[in-house]
Structure 1
Amino acid sequence: MRYYSKVEWLYVGINLRWSIRNDGGPDASGIERSQDIKYMRYLRFFLVLVGGWPGKPLGDWRRSGRWYQWLNVALSVLTLVLGLLYVRNNISKLSYFEMGKTYITVVMNCVCLSRFCTFMTDRYEKSMVYFVKDIHLFNHRNDSEYAMKMHMFVHKLCHCFTLYTIGLVSTVAEVYDIVPVVNNAGSGAFRRHPPADITYESVVYYALPFDYEHDAAGFYVVFIYNLYISYICSVLFLIFDLLVALMVFHLWGHLKILTYSLDNFPRPGEVFEGQASVGRLAGLRYTDRETEEVTRRLKDIIIYHEKILKYSENISNTVGLSVAVYYMFHQITTCLLLLECSQLDTKALVRFGPLCICLINLLAQVSVIFELLGSRTEPLMRAAYNVPWEVMEPGSRRLVLMLLRQTQTPLGLKAVGMVEVGVQTMATILKTSLSYFMMLRTMATNK
């Protein structure tokens, strides 16, 4: 594995401010591979950090070795075990509000572990390679004029969304880590001679064989480790969502191209260029030559749609378990964060308020993006039905019937092949979290 040089590490940050202004599209820069587009380079940069970029199958030296992936899994398991042991040792000693932070970090660790494991699967590697080499609209930009138009639209959308995600990565971990630092500084923890009864506050707490809550040396060891864990966790949360979003955006672009092809399917007299468009008025039937071309186009459309369905299912199978864990995480943490914020204490609001807003935003963002695929089911069905099957030969009509049946398949992603992922699922999670929050708040108040 080759590591990024300092220049490469600074590349993303230095050039972000110029990205949108100077980005005239991949063709303007003479780019020949989809992975060399600017937002794909940003994606690759961060995926390498968490072991999620399959460089070798893509002919790219920027890749994470298997040993690095196993290291991330081992660290994640270690952090999870130490966090669970801390909960077991202190659940009867500390109040629910004091333990809430540890509950949240333990569940976050479960999400990180599920995503690290996803990166190590062969299915993920094949899905990524197929996305970069085939599904990416850059590979289909020359198929038609509308394909080029849709490619440029999705390109701009992906570019802006990538910059937005990178901005979140740059701020989320820092905002969450800064509160303990400020609190420790206010209590004199960083003085040359700190108070004898000082208690150091950490971002994440573990069951360790040494004292890091009252000893400065132990605190600095845990503090440095937490900095790494917090940054990797923020990258893993946001960049994984970014990757899935980019896949969905490109699938959505393919569906738009397919719908456009069906909406503009040629009538008799329109199949070949240069002929008069009289079929719609005169009620003509396709000629023998036109029938051959119509049959070819229908077969291409059916194959194209089948490829979209297969890759949509491939995404569901690849990230389905991670998405299910992610939604369970939101179900648990939303009510916990609301409970922590309900103290209306300045310290609690500063620490948990931004995190609560950020996580709810991520839940809404992911759900709306997944909803994009489902929203294309009905337009595609209508476009398939509007194909002029009534003026076709029996063989072509059978192909249209096959297309109509195929378009009945609902589009969208499912968590573990069962739970539909979308806006309705998000609404259910928020409603359930509010109900649990009210119940826990009542129990905590009574105690």
Structure 2
Amino acid sequence: MERTTRSLTRPIASAGRSTARYVGIDLARFLAVVGMMANHLVAVSALDPTASALNQRAGEIATTLTSGIAAALFAVLGGVSAVFASRRALQAGRPGAAIASIVLRGVILIVLGLALGALDVPIIVVLVYYGVSLILVAVFVVAPSWVVGIVAAVLWLGGGYVNALARQTLELVEEAGSPSFESLAGAPLETLRGTLLTGVYPAITWVAYLLVGILIARALLAANARGKLGRSALGLAALGALLATAATLVSNWTLANLERFGVFPPEGLDMATFVEYLGMQQFGAPNAPELWSQLVAAPHSGSPAEMLRTIGIALAVIGLLVTMCDSRGTGPGRLTDVFRAAGAAPLTIYTLHLLATALVYAPLYAGAELPGGMSWWVAGLGAFGIQLAGVLVIGAILSATGRRGPLEALTSGIVRTVTRT
């Protein structure tokens, strides 16, 4: 493992610290990973009739706050990380090494994701989708921002339509699930198609999120160089709030006026139930290729409305945290640094979360009968509390020792060895 120098954990106060670490970005990563954990462990209680009233209510809140939002924030931060991870090579005039470093990180994520895809967990493992998307955006770390923006806009506007049309043509809702070595060997075409288009986290959507992250990172670095980081970050937060609000209003208006689009519920289903269904979590694509469906911000749908909403939320979160933590020239406090250190180890924490969840779900997949529903340590607030405590312990250890997460250190070591960056 490598030691993290003091300058890496201090907020950015001058343009000269080109390799300094943004505390606000690490805290945003912490929220993204913990948000996904809450979605996996708490949100499921909303659909469990055996769960307590408290857990059911907590599940409803967790669904509202994290469904589609945490994963999108994670993806946007992936684009931010790509810029930060490649800027040293770019400053040294080595664009090839910068691109190669991002590609190699993507390959490592794919290999790890394929291994974790074999776990018996009620979770779609994102790492293969993330790795493929990272490889696809690698070349954009050296592209002009206007090119990055155009490609992101095209994917944002057209990706949902292409995705929904493809699934309609193929007559499928979703495929690939959590890609694994077994699925790759047994159904290579479906696995590849799923990671690119027809899976829950298709590259056609995630590439757009990553490209937005690239633009955000460049905006922050440029603002810091001008000495206007706080003002620019606050502007990003305000823009994000505006975008998220606009997307939500458009989505709500569309759902309230489906008849204007010639959309009516199937026979035997009332309009209220139909609208509720359309607004529920989807499987990586809008319900249909038609315009009305593209305007509905259903979680995990990849529709333009949903992407605008989640990108807006990501902008707001990142902008606010950078404003609070990186624009005043003061380092993080002892408690804050625990969260920062945990957020700086998202791959380690996400992997441990999957392993822990697989361990507690093992009796269920083995056919064990659990009277009264799932035990409190399997799902619900209790399970989330245990795993969150584990995350904070890891953060405290990393903060106290000044070290990176094991998987982050291993990944960086491999990349440096291969690319000599």
TM-score per shorter chain, which class?
A: under 0.3
Give the alignment's TM-score, normalised by structure 2: 0.28
Structure with greater contact order relative to length (CA < 8 Å, sep ≥ 6): 2
Pick the structure with greater CA Rg: 1
Scaled by the length of structure 1, what TM-score is found? 0.26
